[in-house]
Every structure is written in structure tokens, then in C-alpha cells.
Amino acid sequence: MSRQIIIPFGPQHPVLPEPIHLDLVLEDEIVVDVIPSIGYVHRGLEKLVERREYTEYVYVAERICGICSFVHGLAYCQGVEGMMKIEVPERALYLRTIWSEYSRLHSHLLTLGLFADVLGFENLFMNAWRLREHILDDMEATTGGRVIQGSCKVGGVRRDISSEKLDQMVSGLNELEKEMKELTEVFLRDSSIKSRLCGVGVLPKKEAYEYGAAGPTLRGSGWSIDARKLGYAAFSKLNFEPVVETQGDCYARCAVRAKEMFVSIDLIRQAVQKIPDGPVEVKVTGAPDGEYFTRVEQPRGELVHYLKGNGTKNLVRSRVRTPTFTNIPPLVAMLKGCELADVPVIVHSIDPCIGCAER
């Protein structure tokens, strides 16, 4: 047996967009064990729920993550609405669906760009982020915010989108779709990308399920599990099938994200076609009493918000389980047995969002 050495990886590392630390136990160039640790950006946001009125806490919930901010706001609002049995207007549900899918588009373009950067494919990185700008422009035009949208509220949404703007958005997506096809062709067919991703960081189907993987990490290992199938917001009225790949490697996870972008565009088209007229919010009175688990599909996977109220204006508990947090045990499993040079690629293949995971 070779001598074992431990290499600290992160929290600051050129390929890491956010600070996670891994102690990599190596024998020669092979990783034989991994010890992750987090806590560098733990902010204790969940505890703030005790100090903020339940209608205001949505601003905190949105700041859990700077990438899927809207989805956190949506999950929180749904949780309160579930506790209080609030009937949200149909139009608001469709608008939430549209913004959720825009969040997925910009998140997937962001992570695919970063993935290209990790692989040393700078031109591809820049192209992915160039396309992402169009998505962010539409989010800014419709919500007022590029990063933190602030458009979701308990009882509905704060802003409506005019029919003209919705049509413009669809036209824009039709144009963007052509460029996205060119972009994803490179991710899915380029030989240099395939040689870095195929067969690397394999997470077998059984382990993916048992270790608690979520989102593209789970679907890349052959599981057709997607929280949007629960039918929250307007998803119950739209047709789609989750994108599934079966190889379980870094390529499969990359392919799931690349293909999911087209599903998102199709969902937005369907939502724009079906969105009814009407109000976008209802007046909320009283205070939440009881508890509720909300599950929504964030770009990285299933997000859970657990809320508990006691009939006062402050909730007693907000517990957020993010997909990155639950993808850490599968990441440990993927890294065991890999080569040191593949560690950055494998870590990035789960699209880690540590700010989100640590809250």
C-alpha cells in the first residue's frame, strides 16, 4: 500500500465558485477518502425567522441564494400559504411558474459556463454567460431585479407581466433557443469535453437514491424524480417529462442540465399560452398557526422549506434543506476512487451552491 497523504481542497480554490472544504486522502494520485466541511458562509438565516414578521421574512428567504433567489421566495410563500390555506390567484401561480423556469434557465447557463471554465474551455464559458445575460435582462425587466427578484409575496406576486411583454419574452426565447442548441451541441458532442466527463465521478443508480441525491445529480443516475411533478404553482396544468440520463457520470449530469433548458423554454411557452387574466394577489389576514413542509424543484434539485407557526406574527421555525446540502453525501461517494485531477470536475458536476447549503 502506498503512503497516504491528505490534500486540503478549498475553501479558496480557482475552480470553486463558493467555499467548500474537502480533505482529500490520497494514495498516489487516487482519492481514497474525502472529508467535507462547510461553515465558512453560515449566516444563521433560519434563526432570523423568529425576529421578522412572517410577511417580511420572504426578503430573507430570497437572500438565501443569489442564483435561485426567486425559488426560495416561492417555497417560503407556499409554505405560509399551505399553513394558512390561502387560495392564491391562478394568474399569480402562472407568473410564479414562469419566473421559476427563468431562474432554472439562468442557473443552468451559469453552471454550464462555469463547468466549461473548469474544463479550460474559455470560449464556451463566455458564450454560455452571454446567453444568460438575455435571461437576466428579462428577469430584470419583469421583476426589477437581476439577482434578487423580490416579486413573490405571501398570497401571490407583487408584479404582473403584460400580455405584450409575455409575447416579447416568448419571441426572445425562440431566438435564444437556436443559440442554446448550438451551445449544448458543444457540451454534448465535443470530443475534448467528453474525454474529461465520460466515465468520471460515476454515481450508480442505487447509490444515488440511497445516498439522498437530488435534482440533476439524481436524474443523471437514471431516476425520473422531479418535484415539479408534485404540481405546485401551475406545473399541474403544464405538460413535461423530467430529463433523465442513465450513465451517472459527470457527462450525464451535464447533459441533464443542458437538455432541461429546452424543457424550461417549453414550459414557459405553455404557461404564456395558458395564463388566465385576473388578480395577482389576495389580501392576507391573520397569522400562521401550524406547520408545513413545502417541496419545490430548484435548478439544483428538490428544495424543502419547513415552517412552523404559533399564531403570532413571527414563525417559530424555518428549516431549509437545499439540494446542495443533500448532494454532499453523494459527492463523497463519487470522489472516492477518482484521480486527483478529476476532483474539480466532479465537485462542479453537482453544481454546488454553498451559500444556499449553509444558509
Partner 1 sequence: MKYEEQPITVITIDELLARTTRFFQDGYRLVQIGCTKVDGKFEINYSFDKDYRFENLRVELQEGGTLPSISAVYFGAFIYENEIHDLYGISVMGMNIDFKGTLYRTTVQYPFSTDTKKEDDSCPGR
Residues lying near partner 1 in the complex (CB under 8 A) are found at: 35, 37-40, 42, 44, 46-47, 50-51, 81-82, 85-88, 93, 209-212, 229-232, 236, 284-287, 291-295, 302, 304, 306, 308, 310-314, 316-317, 319, 321, 325-326, 328-330, 332-333, 358
Min separation Cβ 101 and partner 1, Å:
18
CB of 304 vs partner 1, minimal distance in Å: 5
Query: Is 261 or 320 the residue whose CB approaches partner 1 more closely?
Result: 320
| Minimum distance, C-beta of residue 118 to partner 1, in the bound complex (Å) | 24
- Among residues 358, 335, 308, 332, the alpha carbon closest in space to that of 50 is found at 308
CB atoms within 10 A of CB 33: 14
Please identify, using beta-carbon distances, which residue of 112 and 203 lies nearer to partner 1.
203
- What are the helix (H) ranges across 85-190? 90-118, 122-143, 163-189
Start-to-end C-alpha separation, the chain? 41
Q: How far apart are CA 238 and CA 240, in angstroms?
A: 7
Given the complex with partner 1, which of 81 and 351 has the nearer CB atom? Answer: 81
CA max distance for the chain: 70
Least distance to partner 1, CB of residue 201, Å? 17
Nearest residue (CB) to partner 1, 44 versus 164: 44
CB nearer partner 1, residue 131 or residue 315: 315
293 versus 339: smaller Cβ distance to partner 1: 293
**Nearest CA among 320, 326, 323, 205 for reference residue 257:** 323
Which three three-digit cell numbers place residue 1? 500500500
Nearer of residues 76 and 211 to partner 1, judged by Cβ? 211
| 94 phi and psi angles, rounded to 5 deg | -70, -40
243 SS3 class: coil
Closest approach of partner 1 to the CB of residue 119, in Å: 28
Q: How far is the CB of 165 from partner 1 (least distance, A)?
A: 25
CA distance 35 to 24: 7
120 contact partners, CB below 8 Å, separation of at least 6: none
DSSP H/E element including 276: none
Shortest distance in whole angstroms from residue 288 CB to partner 1: 11
Q: Return d(Cα 201, Cα 322) in angstroms, integer.
A: 21
Give the integer Cα–Cα distance in Å for 69 and 62.
5
How many Å separate Cα 281 from the centre of its chain?
Answer: 25
